[in-house]
Amino acid sequence: MKIYKFLLILIIALLVFGCIGTNNINDKINNRQNKTNFTSQVNATELVNPDKLKERPISEILECQKENSKREQERCYDNFIKDKMNFKTTKELLQEMDEAANNNDNLRLSCHDFAHAIGRNTYRKFNNSIPAAFSQCVQTCHAGCYHGAIQSFFLGDNYQQQSDDHVTLVQMREKVKLACKPLEGNVKELFQCLHGMGHAILYYVDNNLTLALSICDELKTDYQRQSCYGGEFMENVVSVNKETRQIKLDSPLYPCNSLEEKYKYQCYLMQTSVMMEIFGDNTDKMVESCDKADNGYIETCFKSLGRDRSNHFRIKNDLPFQDIKKIDKKYKMDYVSGLIYALLDNTWNGYYAFPFCSKLDDKDLKDNCYRTAINYLSLNLDTSKEDIKKSCEEHTPSEDKNYCLERV
């Protein structure tokens, strides 16, 4: 009898503790599911049923912007996109992003950052190969997918960690010479590779701009170096580490006015993004600041302002046309060219740029706008004459189709 009593007690104990253990697990799952943090929701879903994740609409990535820091936001973006890629290819995901952004201004304004996350995940998915990742990316959202792939090339799986000591500076100086070499025969993809590399380098060296620029100096041609510098100056503005950026909010022309000559052009081409942190949307203040730029770079500063205003046209805001009225005649075309370069870089065709040109009231400005856009498509984006004509047909307002075609 003693042995039976013992077995009975043992069975009861197992049942009791088994139930407690099950309750603890369920409590943990419920706690994780109840958190508002999106990353926690994803992890909880994986814990409950990793084979039956439900696809979330791309617009819900905006929830990640509720995170407390840019670094946490980007982790959230990566987790969101990683789950989305269980359902869609890179191209399908970028298409979903672009279509959703047409009806969501907040998504459109932030889609470049989201496309970075798509690029990072694509690079990992395609065996850490830049050419393979680039073959999946398209130009959607200012080619953010390409830039994200390059970030992953340099920073690996430790991206967004507090310290990234897995690549020495000596190794990085060698890596920059090799990273984009496979793409040297493709004008569009080579630029995106070099620009994205600039982003990654400055991130890696914790916004030490002087050091980062010297690493870009390792590249063999001026075109390659300038493209790399441009990525670094953009990263200096959008960096997740705000406190280490080389920016002075009481000096709207810094750091451009303190740099060596060879770095000034790319710096001034981004500088109005700094001014917008200082002045908001006050066009008069930015125009006044650009007028004080270093000799030879006033025009570049107005190109920067045009580029920064390109988002306003994409979301059907007329602010660019108000700006043009406030800018001195000799700088109006610089502003327009900066704006249409950005519009063209966003789509690699005239989808936004040609309608913008068509809306210009000034006849000479309109003519120069079309000619500049067509020239940029041909030389910078390697677009054939036939494809430019097709873009004129598809994207120019009906009253200006011939106007566009005659200038190809």
pLDDT, tens digit (0-9, with 9 covering 90-100), for 72-85: 898 999 999 999 99
Is the predicted pLDDT of residue 9 greater than 60, yes or no?
Answer: no
Provide the b/e sequence for 288-321 (b: ≥16 CB within 10 Å).
ebbeebbeebbbbbbbbbbbbbbbbbbeeeeebe
* Domain span including residue 28: 19-52
Tally of domains within the chain: 1
User: Average pLDDT, whole number, for the chain?
Assistant: 85
Residue whose C-alpha is closest to residue 341's, from 315, 319, 310: 310
Residue 46 · residue 53 · CB < 8 Å: yes
Q: Which carries the bigger pLDDT value, residue 122 or residue 142? A: 122
Cα distance between residue 246 and residue 256, in whole Å: 10
Q: Which carries the bigger pLDDT value, residue 44 or residue 141? A: 141
pLDDT for res 122: 96
Three-state DSSP class for residue 255:
coil
Residue 83 · residue 42 · CB < 8 Å: yes
pLDDT over 70 percentage in the chain: 84
pLDDT for res 48: 38
Model pLDDT for residues 278-305, shown as the tens digit of each residue: 999 999 999 999 999 999 999 999 999 9
Report how far apart the first and last C-alpha atoms of the chain are (Å, whole number).
101
Would you call 386 exposed, middle or buried from its count of C-beta atoms within 10 A (0-12, 13-18, 19+)?
A: exposed
pLDDT over 90 percentage in the chain: 64
Quick one: tokens of 235?
Answer: 């990263």
In a domain, 129, yes or no: no
Amino acid code (one letter) for 42: V
In a domain, 25, yes or no: yes
In a domain, 222, yes or no: no
In a domain, 89, yes or no: no
pLDDT for res 150: 84
In a domain, 32, yes or no: yes
In a domain, 24, yes or no: yes
In a domain, 48, yes or no: yes
Cα distance between residue 100 and residue 251, in whole Å: 38
The residue with tokens 């994205």 is: 196
Q: Which range has highest mean pLDDT (124-128, 314-318, 348-352)?
A: 348-352
Residue whose C-alpha is closest to residue 265's, from 228, 215, 219: 228
- Phi and psi at residue 257, to the nearest 5°: -75, 5
Three-state DSSP class for residue 291:
coil
Taking phi over 0 as left and psi of -120 to 50 as alpha, with beta for the rest, 98 belongs to alpha
62-76, 253-267, 331-345, 391-405: the lowest-pLDDT one? 62-76
Cα distance between residue 280 and residue 176, in whole Å: 36
**Cα distances (angstroms) measured from residue 237 to each of 192, 213, 248, 249:** 18, 15, 11, 11
Is the predicted pLDDT of residue 40 greater than 70, yes or no?
Answer: no
**Cα distances (angstroms) measured from residue 139 to each of 95, 105, 124, 143:** 10, 19, 19, 4
In a domain, 123, yes or no: no
Provide the b/e sequence for 332-368 (b: ≥16 CB within 10 Å).
bbbbbbbbbbbbbbbbbbbebbbebbbebeeeebbeb
Cα distance between residue 331 and residue 312, in whole Å: 19
